[in-house]
């Protein structure tokens, strides 16, 4: 079993460490001479030109990729994008027009609710594209267009490398969609493509800072309740950070759009309540900093994940910095310290990291 884990203590850690390779395997085959080429290019390009709306359907972590996708697709391609949790979508009589694009995201390709949502969308005339990891899975077989994440088998119940790969496919998808629709020009597309192609190396540099995450884990391991806050793409990643921590460490955690805190939950922030603030989006940094100050005023203990030099040293108690780069693609990077933090906190608390209680890797029954 030790060999299966490549010498790591757990599959989860092994899989986090595989992120740079997985990103390269997912990105590189789709980039040629600085241009993005997706599978089913002719058909997808045609659909991209005419599509009026993108609807993303997924469960759990894959839905968090969906929330990130909404920001990236709308910002770059200016196509309205909705995100739905599959178990909600399938029972709410969704409005689907023929020609709509439904984008289904799933690691396993076997999640029951996601598969049912796909079937419903198809029966109503939508074109279905999927981002799936398991080759030949049900969702892959039943979709019109398959965009695989090349993450390899993922064993740990908590998804890590597949999540990062899903984000990378979204980035490629959004840039291609934007270019084909004329929402961005070729020069801009090239710039963005280069930024995506740089992600594997940047991920490698972050993983080399594993010890920093371990030290932070020791400082936050005894939390009873914890908050994650962020705005925009940082909010989407905060959702994933919060789920990851809950799943494997059993620490109760809440995620809030940073601007929403004062509409209720800030009443729960008291002396030493840990708050993890994701603050990587440069156009939102001032706003998030003011939210950090609000919780600091209630004596919260704040860990900020932000760009180098973005925050004054005294704004947060702890800072983990992310290298500079395109804001739209930073989720693939800032999720890494959050995954490592959850992992080490769960290890320090003696939890069964790879097989958390009550959870299955793939939820194939409703």
C-beta nearest to ligand AGP: residue: 60
- Give yes or no for residue 354 binding ligand AGP (CB under 6 A): no
Interface with ligand AGP includes 106 (CB under 6 A)?
A: yes
Q: Is 60 in the site for ligand AGP (CB under 6 A)?
A: yes
Residue 361 among the catalytic residues: yes
Q: Which of 26, 81, 138, 159 binds ligand AGP (CB under 6 A)?
A: 159
Stretch that binds ligand AGP, among 3-11, 90-98, 152-160, 321-329 (CB under 6 A): 152-160
The 232-271 contact track toward ligand AGP, x by CB under 6 A, reads ---------------x------------------------
Residues forming a β-bridge with 104: 57, 130
For 171-232, the DSSP string reads: HHHHHHHHHHTTSS-HHHHHHHHHHHHTHHHHHHHHHTTHHHHHHHHHHHTT-SEEEEEEST
Residue from 26, 61, 81, 273 touching ligand AGP (CB under 6 A): that is 61
Enclosing H/E stretch for 22: helix 19-27
What is the C-alpha to C-alpha distance for residues 247 and 270, in angstroms, rounded to an integer? 24
CA distance 358 to 73: 35
Cα–Cα dist 133/22, whole Å: 11
Q: 107, 143, 281, 332: which one contacts ligand AGP (CB under 6 A)?
A: 107
- Do strands 35-36 and 31-32 pair parallel, antiparallel, or not at all (unpaired)? antiparallel
Contact window for ligand AGP (CB under 6 A) among 106-114, 186-194, 257-265, 278-286? 106-114
Evaluate whether 237 touches 230 at the Cβ level (below 8 Å): yes
Q: Per rule CB under 6 A, is residue 19 in the interface with ligand AGP?
A: no
For position 62 contacting ligand AGP by CB under 6 A, the verdict is yes
Binding region for ligand AGP (CB under 6 A) out of 54-62, 197-205, 211-219, 231-239: 54-62
Place of tokens 């860990």: 303
């Amino acid at each position: 079993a030790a060999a299966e884990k490549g010498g790591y203590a757990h599959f989860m850690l092994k899989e986090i460490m595989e992120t740079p390779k997985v990103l390269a395997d997912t990105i590189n085959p789709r980039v040629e001479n600085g241009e993005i080429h997706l599978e089913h290019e002719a058909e997808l390009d045609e659909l991209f030109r005419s599509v009026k709306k993108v609807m993303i359907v997924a469960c759990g972590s894959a839905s968090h990729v969906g929330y990130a996708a909404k920001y990236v697709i709308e910002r770059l391609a200016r196509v309205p994008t909705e995100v739905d949790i599959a178990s909600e979508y399938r029972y709410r009589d969704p409005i689907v027009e023929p020609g709509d694009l439904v984008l289904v995201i799933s690691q396993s390709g076997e999640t029951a609710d996601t598969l049912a949502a796909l079937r419903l969308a198809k029966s109503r005339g939508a074109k279905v594209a999927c981002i799936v990891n398991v080759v030949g899975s049900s969702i892959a077989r039943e979709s019109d267009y398959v965009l695989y994440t090349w993450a390899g088998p993922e064993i740990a119940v908590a998804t890590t490398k597949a999540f990062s790969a899903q984000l990378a496919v979204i980035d490629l998808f959004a840039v291609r969609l934007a270019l084909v629709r004329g929402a961005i020009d070729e020069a801009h597309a090239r710039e963005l493509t280069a930024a995506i192609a740089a992600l594997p190396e940047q991920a490698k540099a972050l993983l080399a800072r594993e010890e920093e995450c371990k030290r932070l884990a020791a400082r936050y391991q005894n939390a009873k309740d914890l908050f994650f806050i962020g705005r925009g793409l940082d909010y989407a990643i905060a959702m994933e950070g919060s789920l990851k921590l809950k799943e494997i460490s059993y620490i109760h955690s809440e995620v809030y759009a940073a601007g929403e805190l004062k509409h209720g939950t800030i009443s729960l922030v008291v002396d030493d309540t840990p708050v993890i603030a994701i603050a990587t989006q440069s156009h939102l940094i001032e706003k998030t900093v003011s939210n950090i100050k609000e919780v600091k005023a209630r004596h919260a203990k704040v860990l900020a994940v932000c760009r180098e030099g973005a925050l004054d040293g005294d704004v947060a108690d702890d800072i983990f910095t992310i290298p500079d780069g395109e804001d739209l693609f930073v989720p693939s990077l800032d999720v890494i310290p959050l995954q490592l933090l959850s992992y080490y906190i769960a290890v320090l608390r003696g939890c069964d990291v790879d097989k958390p209680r009550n959870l299955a890797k793939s939820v194939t029954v409703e």
